Structure 1
Amino acid sequence: MLQLQNNCIRNIFKVFQINRHNFLRSTNETTLNQVYQNFHKICVANKLKINKCNFCSKPVYDVNTNVVKDVVIFKYENPKFFKVINLFGLSQFFFWTYLSHFAFTTLRDAPVDETIAKEEVWYKRINLGENKFRNALTIFSFLIGYGVLTAAWLFTLRSVRFLVLKKGGKSISLVTYSPFGENRIMTVPLNCVSAETSRESAKVQLPLKIKNRKLFYILDMRGEFTNPRLFDYTVGLKRKLN
C-alpha cells in the first residue's frame, strides 16, 4: 500500500511540478492523513486549490476484474480483408508453383558458343537450361509461392477478432480469424498473457504474447475496445512469462 501511495504522489509531483524533497522530509509518513496534510501545505504555498473530500477517496487502480459473466473487451470485424489476403496468398502460390513446374520441364540445356559469348552481354551468356540454373529457378519459384501463402495464413491465424474475459476474470478467450472463414477459439489463463505495449501507446497494432506459443497475436488498433478500462487491467498488462 505504501508503495502504491508513493507512486501516486510521484505522479502528482510531475503534474504540479512540486519539489519532492520539500514535500517528503520523513520516510515514516505512511498514513493518508499525513500525506494529505503535507500535500495541502505545498498546494497552499503554490496557490493551488484542492478538495479534501475528493482527495484519494477512491484509488484509480480500483477495478473489479471479477466479472459475473463473459465480457467482450475487444472486437475487430473485418472478414472481407482477410478473405482478400488469403485469396491473394493462394493465387500467388499457384502462380509460382506453375512457374516452378514450367522452369523444370521446359528449360533445355543449350550451351552458348564460346566464340560468340565474349561479345554478348552477360545475361545472354547464361545457359538457363543448365542443371544448376534450372534447379535453382525451380526451387526459388516454389519457395516464393510457399512463403507468400505461409505469411498470409500466419497473419490471418494470429489476428484477433474477439477478446473475451471469461467469468471470474481468471482466463481469457482469443477468437482469431482462419484462412477458410471459420473462427478459432483458444482459452488461456490471464497470467499467461502479456501485452508488449500499452493500449494508448500502440498506433497500428498491439502485440500479445501467449506463454508457450510462438510469434505474437495481433490486435488491430482499428478495432473497438468495448471496455477499455477492463482491458487495461487484465489483458493490457505486461507480465513476465517464464
Structure 2
Amino acid sequence: MGKPAADESIGQCQSCHLRHEFSLEQARRPETCNACHIGPDHPQFEIYTESPHGIAYATGGDDWNWDAEPGTLTVTDFPAPTCATCHLSGFGGTATTHDVGERLTWFLFAPVSEQRPNWQENQRRMQSVCMECHNQNFVEDFYVAASAATEQVNAWVEESNDIIAPLIEQQLLTDAPFDEPIDFTYFELWHHWGRTAKFGVWMQGADYVQWHGAYEVLSDLAELREMVDERLAEAQAANAEAGESADAEGDVRDVSTVGG
C-alpha cells in the first residue's frame, strides 16, 4: 500500500491508518479508500457506493463491530463487506494481508487485462471471503460472468489498437503525447471507460459497467474510427496533390528541354 520507501520496502501504514490514531475502524471504513480510489480512471469508491455491498454499509454500517480483533471477523461483525473486508481483512477462514493484490484474479488497470501470476490461488482466497455470505454456485457463476465481461472490454480495446494502427504505421501522428484530440480519445477509451467498466463488473456497480463504461467505450470507438478515416483521407489527398505537382513540374521540364 503506497509508494516504495527510500529503503526499497513497499507500503505506507498511514495510507489506511492515518497518523495520530492508527485506528482499525479507520482502515476498515470505505471512506478511507476514497482518498485514492476515486475519479474517472479508478472510481472504486463511487462503484462501491452504488453496489449492494455499499448500500448495506450506508444503511446499516453504523451498527457493525468496527473494533473487532484483527483476524477474527465474521459476518456477525460485518454483515456486508467494505473494501478492507474483501481485500485485506482476515475474514472467516481467510488470513489477514496487507497486499491488496493477493486476492485479485486480473490486472484490471491495464489497457488489455491479463490474469495475474498465481491467479488461481488469488481467486481461491477471494472466493473464500465471498463464500462467508454467498453459496459456491453464486460465486462461481459471478466469476464466469465477470471474466467474460473483462474479455469483452479487452476485445474493444484491442479493436481500438487496430483502428489507430494505420496512423502509426504511416507516421500520421505527432511524436508529442496529448497534443491533438485523437490522442485523448484513444487514451480515455481504455484508461477511463475501459477500466471503469471492468471495475464496475467486478464490484457490482451496474451504472459504471454500462453508462460510465461500455457506452463510453463504444462511443469513443465510433469517434476514433471517424477521426482515423478523416486523417487517412487527408493524407491520401495530400499524397495525390503532391503527385500531381510532381507530374506538372516534370511536364514543364520536358517542354523547356524541347524548346532548347
Could you tell me the TM-score, scaled by structure 2's length?
Answer: 0.22
More helix per residue: 1 or 2? 2
- Structure showing greater radius of gyration is 1
More strand by share: 1
Q: TM-score, normalised by structure 1?
A: 0.23
